[in-house]
Structure 1
Amino acid sequence: MRYALIWLGIIGGGYCFFSNRHLNLPLLLDKVSASTAIKLKLFNAFTVMLFGLAFSVAGLESFSANLAMKTAMFQAPIGGLQLCMLICGLMIIASQLISFVTLLKAEAKPIDLIQVVLVITLIFAACYTFAQTSLFSYWVQNHIEMFSLVVLFLVFFTFLILGTPIAIGLAIAGLFTLSLQVDFAPLFPTAGQTIFNGLDSFGFLALPFFILAGSIMNQTGLARRLIDLSMLVGRKIPGSLWQSNVVANGLFGTLSGSGIASASAIGGIITPVAREQKYDLPMTAAVNAASAPCGMLIPPSGALIVYSLLTGGSASIIALFMAGYIPGMIMAITVMLYAYFYARKKGYQAETGNVSWSESLAVFNRSLPSLFMIVIVMGGILGGLFTAIEASGVAVVYSLGLAILYRTISAKMIFNIFMETALVSGVILFLIACSGMMSWTMTFASIPDTVTQLISGFSDNKHMVLLLIVAVLLVVGVFMDMAPAMLIFTPIFLPLVVSLGVDPVHFGIVLVYALALGVVTPPVGTVLFVACSISGQSITSVIKPLLPIFALQLLGLVLITFFPILSLMLPQLFGL
């Protein structure tokens, strides 16, 4: 299973380059002229292709070096299993060659490609020349930790700004930093092995399985039953549609764990009703966007699973799951509070019509099977029937069983669901694999220790340090998606806060909450973009009602940061 997961991550990651599904930051691409944007696209394609070439070399060398080695159980040649790196590298090269042809046919000119190749050649020549200087030798020999820190983040943020896929930026930044301390000959094999081993963890199996379970519940209509329940719960509060939206996002988030999925699924249902009932549409979009990230805290959450694995198990998945409930509800309640007062101010009334007990009971009974999946998953883990990783498989079997029982799934739909799950998982797992190399490089260069010394020199008060880290995470979240931000900053900040006596579970909730706010803030506010797109409202019109909600959610973040009991109450209650 571990090797199947590695192949899914690496081969799936390679395949996703053909459809441009990998995350990037198109900030500069959107600001420059059309001709400059073409050159940037060519530059990024060439950079990705060079990485694909390096990864192919690493895969070929690993195949040759480890072909005689066998796995313990099945006696399969390890070199053969590592062949996925060569396949992925060739897929990346092929995808970028297609990009070159597409760009040259559409807008680019051969002279643009020549200029890009010349620029890249000059960059490598400049790096090589600098590496021969006495200044370079001085920094490497006397200040290797600080020099590695500067090189790592300078290279990464340069590629980030240029719009290079984030996974490639992480890998190349790690490669440059590693080259400061490793000779050229073993450089590519070491990097390849590190990326391969970055997914060699049984715990990562939970990610694709929970993604698959959420996809089944969503695409077969089982999650729609939770939305009906939410509409029933929120109907007696002023601004009832907004209240229902928040409740629906919270419930749906327990199935999908994705802010984007929640914003699109719930927003697609709520928005037409809001338009029909003449609700304020910018406020409707703001409520949908601000409440969609609740599912990133309310379990089962993929973000919390990734954080647990990044901690090496010092923060268990089940402890994080239990710790996420109260902060997730705080995030939701802040939205509901503002929606309530806004509705009162604008004169929105609660629904006046009565729903009979039989109708209410029918809605509840319809939603009960979907709700029961949460009970089975969390109850089974707490009761010791299965682990959090096994629970993800249970969730898939249960959701698939329900879909078959209700006859809401077909063979074609199953294929589409599995294909989409593989692609989504491939993007995330390939990002994790590349970040694994960056994390290993940071540890190899003692970068976390260097950052710890820098921040400790600023203050040794844990509350001040936490406040500083939260401020950094909020700024980072504005420019970077949650997944890469977690993968980069968890290995840096975690050792520091633990040394100051902060519980790893508490810090994980703070980190996820802070970065979750970033998915609703431009320029990388993917959830905000989805909410605006569905509602048909401009970002500028939605920002105005969103700011007061954001302020209340920041207050919630401060409370969670300075009062650990809000995160640790439930884990302690269950002895976790």
Structure 2
Amino acid sequence: MAILISYQVIARYFFNAPSSLSVEMLRFSLIWLGVLGSAYCFMLNKHLNLPLLVDALKPKNRDRLKLFNASLTLLFGALLAWGGFNSILANALTRTPMLHLSMGTLQSVLLIAGVLICISQLLLIYTLFKQGSSKIIDLIGMVVLLSLVLYLASLFRASETYMFWVDEHLELFSTVVLFGTLFALLFLGTSIAVGLAFSGILTLSLQVDISVLFSTMGEKLFSGLDSFGFLALPFFVLAGNIMNQAGIARRLIDFAMLFGRRIPGSLWQTNTLANMLFGSLSGSGIAAATAIGGIVSPIAKEEKYDMAITTAVNAASAPCGMLIPPSGALIVYSLITGGSASIVALFLAGYVPGMIMGVSVMAVAYIYAKNRNYSVDKSPFRMSEMARSFAMAAPSLLLVVVVIGGIIFGVFTATEGSGIAVFYSLVLALVYRRLTPQVLYKVLLDTAAATGVILFLIACSNLMSWSMTFASIPDTIGEFLTSLSNNKYVILLLINITLLVIGVFMDMAPAQLIFTPIFFPVVMELGVDPVHFGIIMVYNLSMGVVTPPVGTVLFVSCSVSGEKITKVIRPLLPIFSVQIAGLLLITFIPALSLTLPRLFGV
């Protein structure tokens, strides 16, 4: 795929002959990557879920819940395989325009993935039995329970009460079914993708005949990834992963030290600046927290810095890269909204809010350092030292200039720019001699797995979003919110509070995929700019990756520094307070986000 997108750029830009063939190959390769990658992640048990209830239970009950979720995922795999089989039969004679391949053959990936998911869950169930953590009576009880639920549901569907609710209160009934199913499954620790899919299926079942429901499910999952714009996501992830292997973290820290060493708490300031720089290259808060924190933490211990504050600073500043482009979160938002907010505009809009998030950390770190009388490096700046640090960091920083500059000035599209980012990062890694064939293979596999999870979440959320639109659920929610107030800033404040709470319990990608289709139509009705709202959402949810119990970046930072989470929470709270103040500024002063996009005419 990376080779194809590079060829696409060369063919269009140098020979003025864009290839429709390569575009079609890329589109269908992306779908196969997403669907097969998701099946691979089910086999590795790497899909995202909310383990709140699972972690709170005793071991025996925990294993019973795992058995339940495995059985439910097995059912999903069987439905996916059945839907894929029906899609193969229904579309066997339809041919693609360029490759002239049967659409039924292409959609066979749904059948393959469904079978692989079933096998993975059967193996998981077998493992639970083999370890003795589950017994046959548990499985029998699970089957009886699911059968009873299905039987009661069939009785309810045949009742007059059901027909009354469907005929007279369809929107309200659909809303209750969709969100009741989704949050119940999330609470039980079911894979978020499976929860999205089942909530969409059950909501569709209120209006769509069961005989065509599952084939519709398969086709919607397939078409949910059929977009050329989605390609930017795996390519930027791949470029970030290659850059992570290129050993650029040390170079960026030395460069950041030039700006941070004269400020009290110079190591904390350097950590924040380096996370902002590294995040702009990798687009990953976890990667930044690991790479930069892994270098800063030993130095902080040696310099007798407070390690709880050091960990808090690293964790709170790592998500800045989710706003500073190229950002996967902003790409996902653009794709969910159907391009209402262009990727180019969102990239430009993310710079100032990303810097506000970083400066918020630096301001609190400054106060911490002053209160502890930390010394400041007053040694003179030497031109040779500055030139050396800049020269070491410049090749890595040039990636941002080439890719973002090329996208902004129309040299290539955002998708093509992501391919250029892969090519550039690959060349840089080879120049630095940090990329062996074995490392490259691991990078490609990790990228396929990571994007497989996200792409399948997008496909399942597309199914849920379609069922929501089908049942007019966004209109119902919009009417409820606007009944509270017609002031768009009051509504934005309510949405901010909601997203901050959601971020505590849910990771960035699923939260975006679930709540963007809900809130987006509401704020559009109120006249909020789609780019502005995208920045508000991503800023909100970026803070969520640092808050337990699902704070992945916080966990990584604590793991790197060896500090306990309980000790880090206290110094994090003042940082969060200042970052929330920054969020309010961004919410109520749209110009902070929109000035740069308007300046460049996007």
Q: When the two structures are superposed, what TM-score results if normalisation uses the length of structure 2? A: 0.94
Match of 1:233 in 2: 259
Deviation, 1:111, is 1.5
**1:371 maps to 2:397:** yes
Deviation, 1:405, is 2.3
Q: In structure 1, how many angstroms separate the alpha carbons of the residues matched to 2:90 and 2:396? A: 50
Which letter does structure 2 place at the counterpart of 1:7? W
Contact kept, 8 Å, 1:151 with 1:173, in 2: the verdict is yes
**1:337 maps to 2:363:** yes
Which letter does structure 2 place at the counterpart of 1:6? I
Match of 1:52 among 67, 74, 77: 77
**1:277 maps to 2:303:** yes
Deviation, 1:126, is 2.0
Q: In structure 1, how many angstroms separate the alpha carbons of the residues matched to 2:381 and 2:61? A: 60
Contact kept, 8 Å, 1:160 with 1:166, in 2: the verdict is yes
Match of 1:424 among 446, 450, 455: 450
Which sections of structure 1, spanning at least 5 residues, go unmatched?
none
Contact kept, 8 Å, 2:267 with 2:300, in 1: the verdict is yes
**1:411 maps to 2:460:** no
Deviation, 1:207, is 0.5
Match of 2:45 among 16, 20, 35: 20
Report the RMSD for the aligned CA atoms in angstroms.
1.0
Q: In structure 2, how many angstroms separate the alpha carbons of the residues matched to 1:129 and 1:355? A: 79
Q: What secondary structure is seen at the aligned counterpart in 2 of 1:185?
A: helix
Q: In structure 2, how many angstroms separate the alpha carbons of the residues matched to 1:571 and 1:208? A: 24
Deviation, 1:355, is 5.5
Which letter does structure 2 place at the counterpart of 1:105? K
Q: How does 1:172-191 map to 2 (within 5 A)?
A: 172-191=198-217
Contact kept, 8 Å, 2:246 with 2:428, in 1: the verdict is no
Match of 2:140 among 114, 126, 129: 114
Contact kept, 8 Å, 1:2 with 1:201, in 2: the verdict is yes
Contact kept, 8 Å, 2:249 with 2:291, in 1: the verdict is no
Deviation, 1:360, is 2.2
Match of 1:70 among 95, 103, 120: 95
**Residue-by-residue CA offset, 1:210-238 (whole Å, 9 max, x unaligned):** 01111111112134322221233211111
Match of 1:564 among 572, 590, 602: 590
Contact kept, 8 Å, 2:80 with 2:218, in 1: the verdict is yes
Match of 2:18 in 1: none
Match of 1:102 in 2: 127
Q: What secondary structure is seen at the aligned counterpart in 1 of 2:44?
A: coil
Contact kept, 8 Å, 1:223 with 1:370, in 2: the verdict is no
Q: How does 1:308-347 map to 2 (within 5 A)?
A: 308-347=334-373
Q: In structure 1, how many angstroms separate the alpha carbons of the residues matched to 2:341 and 2:468? A: 21
**1:165 maps to 2:152:** no
**Residue-by-residue CA offset, 1:20-44 (whole Å, 9 max, x unaligned):** 1110110001111111101100000
Deviation, 1:338, is 0.3
Deviation, 1:357, is 2.2
Q: In structure 1, how many angstroms separate the alpha carbons of the residues matched to 2:495 and 2:29? A: 36
Q: In structure 1, how many angstroms separate the alpha carbons of the residues matched to 2:488 and 2:455? A: 33
**1:90 maps to 2:89:** no
Deviation, 1:423, is 0.8
Q: What secondary structure is seen at the aligned counterpart in 1 of 2:350?
A: helix
Q: How does 1:219-230 map to 2 (within 5 A)?
A: 219-230=245-256
Match of 1:461 in 2: 487
Q: In structure 2, how many angstroms separate the alpha carbons of the residues matched to 1:352 and 1:179? A: 69
Q: In structure 1, how many angstroms separate the alpha carbons of the residues matched to 2:514 and 2:28? A: 24
Which sections of structure 2, spanning at least 5 residues, go unmatched?
1-25
Match of 1:267 among 293, 308, 312: 293
Q: In structure 1, how many angstroms separate the alpha carbons of the residues matched to 2:464 and 2:358? A: 34
**1:538 maps to 2:564:** yes
Deviation, 1:188, is 0.3
**Residue-by-residue CA offset, 1:339-395 (whole Å, 9 max, x unaligned):** 001100011112244553212211110100000000001111122110111100000
Which letter does structure 2 place at the counterpart of 1:262? A
Q: What secondary structure is seen at the aligned counterpart in 2 of 1:88?
A: helix
Q: In structure 2, how many angstroms separate the alpha carbons of the residues matched to 1:355 and 1:122? A: 75
Q: What secondary structure is seen at the aligned counterpart in 1 of 2:524?
A: helix
Contact kept, 8 Å, 1:222 with 1:403, in 2: the verdict is no
Match of 1:397 among 406, 415, 423: 423
Match of 1:8 in 2: 33
Identical-pair percentage: 58
Q: What secondary structure is seen at the aligned counterpart in 2 of 1:300?
A: coil
Match of 2:406 in 1: 380
Q: How does 1:206-225 map to 2 (within 5 A)?
A: 206-225=232-251
Which letter does structure 1 place at the counterpart of 2:481? I
Which letter does structure 1 place at the counterpart of 2:368? Y
Match of 1:250 in 2: 276
Match of 1:482 in 2: 508
Contact kept, 8 Å, 2:245 with 2:429, in 1: the verdict is no
Number of aligned positions between the proteins: 576
Q: In structure 2, how many angstroms separate the alpha carbons of the residues matched to 1:259 and 1:173? A: 30
Match of 1:39 in 2: 64
**Residue-by-residue CA offset, 1:414-472 (whole Å, 9 max, x unaligned):** 11111111111111111111111011111111111111111111111111111111111
Contact kept, 8 Å, 1:218 with 1:224, in 2: the verdict is no
Contact kept, 8 Å, 2:280 with 2:321, in 1: the verdict is yes
